[in-house]
Amino acid sequence: MKVNEIRTGGIAKSLAGRDKGRLYMIVGREGETLLLADGKYRPAESPKRKNRRHVYLLPVFHPEIAENLAQGKNENSRIRAALQAPACASPEAEGET
C-alpha cells in the first residue's frame, strides 16, 4: 500500500543518508522538507529536516500523538513507543517508493 498524503503523526522510513533504514515520526512539514523525530536522538523539539524524496511513508498514523504535538506537549516517550510498535516493523512496511 502506497501512502501519498503527508500528515503529522505519520511514520516515515529513511531511504538515504547515514540514518538509512531508521524510522521517524513526522512532526511537521516545510514545503518538500519533512520535520522528523524519533524521540531519542531527534526529539520533537529539534526535529531532523529531510527531503520528502529521501523517505518512504508507511501506512501507520497516530492521531493522538499528532494532536498533542499540535498543542505543544512533550510526546517524545510516546513517539519512541509508537516507532517500536509491531505495525511499524511489519514485513509489508519494508517496501520502497
Average pLDDT estimate for 41-63: 93
The mean of the pLDDT values for the chain is: 87
Tell me how far apart the alpha carbons of residues 44 and 47 are, in angstroms, rounded to a whole number.
5
What is the value of pTM for the model shown? Answer: 0.83
24: closest CA among 33, 35, 16?
35
The predicted pLDDT at position 75 comes to 87
CA distance 92 to 1: 8
Instruction: Tell me the pLDDT tens digit for each residue of 9-37.
Output: 999 999 999 999 999 999 999 999 999 99
Count of the separate structural domains present in the chain: 1
Residue 46 maps to which CATH number?
Answer: 2.30.30
Nearest alpha carbon to residue 60 among 92, 28, 34: 92
Residue 2, domain member (yes or no): no
In this structure, is residue 72 part of a structural domain? yes
Q: Is it the case that residue 4 has pLDDT exceeding 60?
A: yes
In whole angstroms, what is the distance from residue 50 CA to residue 37 CA? 11
**For residue 88, is it within any domain?**
yes
Place of cell 500500500: 1
* Residue 23 forms part of a structural domain: yes
Task: Flag whether 5 is in a domain.
Answer: no
Q: Is residue 4 part of a domain?
A: no
Domain that holds residue 20: 10-94
Domain-embedded: residue 30:
yes
Task: Assess if residue 3 is contained within a domain.
Answer: no
Helix 76-84 × helix 63-70 angle, to 10°: 160
The beta strand positions in the chain, using DSSP E, are 10-14, 23-30, 33-37, 48-51, 55-61
